[in-house]
Amino acid sequence: MPEQEYLPPRRPGDPARSDRPDRDEEDPPPWADLPPVRPARSADENEDVPQPGRRGGRAMRAAARKRRRWLVLAGGLVAAGVVIAVVLLLRSGPGPAAVTPGTLITTFQPGELRQVPNACGTVPTAMVRQYLPGKVSQASPLPVNGAAESACNWTVDSPPVYRLMELNLLAYAPNGLASGDGSATFAAIDGYDSALQAIGDPPKHSPNPRATATSLSGFGNQAFSALQVFHEGGAITDVATVLVRYHNVVITVTLDGLEHSNRGSYGPVSPSALSAAALAFAQAAEASLH
């Protein structure tokens, strides 16, 4: 409630109070000339009393408090934004995501390939003519793994020569069922080991003959070659195989040579020539991955 100053009754002829209505013409009581009494205020209340020359002080201080709160809030948001931006920049770099020891790897690691080149283009035309004499037919089987796989076949069928060269490149992806840490490389190692076991120790009742694999060095991370002789329906076919693993990519090359046929006049076949041709194609394909 606004403070009111007690005003004693106007004295007759008092010019200072001529603007107020007359109350009575009696002399004022003895206490009339005492100073006005104001109610006491607490210290907190006194802070809010506008001071002379500071019109609207309470509103100004309230606005200042609001500005300070906004600035603190804005500063906190900016700091949080900087932290988030740094984290995103660190995570969005070109390198692979960080790997925690003992956990499965679910991303491609440095050196691993997500896709492979076109298999037919990995072998120079001069090499094809050198190892596959005669009229060559080329075909590209449709891959079943998209860009992660590519295959190419070269065939020569002109008696007495029959050759079938098959080249396959397959990039393995991370796999939780793979050995080790489940990385793409470990998945490729598993595929390589399975092929090596199948050629050296075929499953029971398999028509494939047992072969002795020979380790190769000088290219890839792992490589072996093998030679098998198939007997079927009176025909004899020699098959040279070269398998190469480069990080998470497995290259498979097989070259069939018909040594004897029960129909037509094919052969003979040089096993060493078959192995040399398969090795040359595998080396060319592996070189294309670098």
Chain segment 2-25, per-residue pLDDT in tens: 444 444 444 444 444 444 444 444
Nearest 5°: CA angle at 193, between 127 and 103? 120
Q: In the predicted model, what is the mean pLDDT of the chain? A: 77
Contact 97, 91 (CB under 8 A): yes
Other beta carbons less than 10 A from residue 4's beta carbon: 8
Which range in 7-11, 81-85, 184-188, 256-260 is most confidently predicted, on average pLDDT? 184-188
Give yes or no for residue 200 having a pLDDT over 50. Answer: yes
Contact 90, 82 (CB under 8 A): no
**Whole-model pTM above 0.75?**
no
Least confident of 39-48, 172-181, 201-210: 39-48
> All domains of the chain, ordered by start, with CATH?
1-93 (no CATH), 119-287 (3.40.1000)
Give yes or no for residue 28 having a pLDDT over 70. Answer: no
Q: Which pLDDT value is given to residue 90?
A: 37
Least confident of 73-77, 131-135, 243-247: 73-77
Q: Which pLDDT value is given to residue 203?
A: 87
Rounded distance between C-alpha atoms, residue 282 and residue 285, angstroms: 5
Q: Which pLDDT value is given to residue 50?
A: 41
What the block records as the tokens of 6 is 């007690």
The helix (H) or strand (E) run that includes residue 84 is helix 57-91
Quote the percentage of the chain above a pLDDT of 90.
57
Q: Which pLDDT value is given to residue 144?
A: 83
Q: Which pLDDT value is given to residue 100?
A: 56
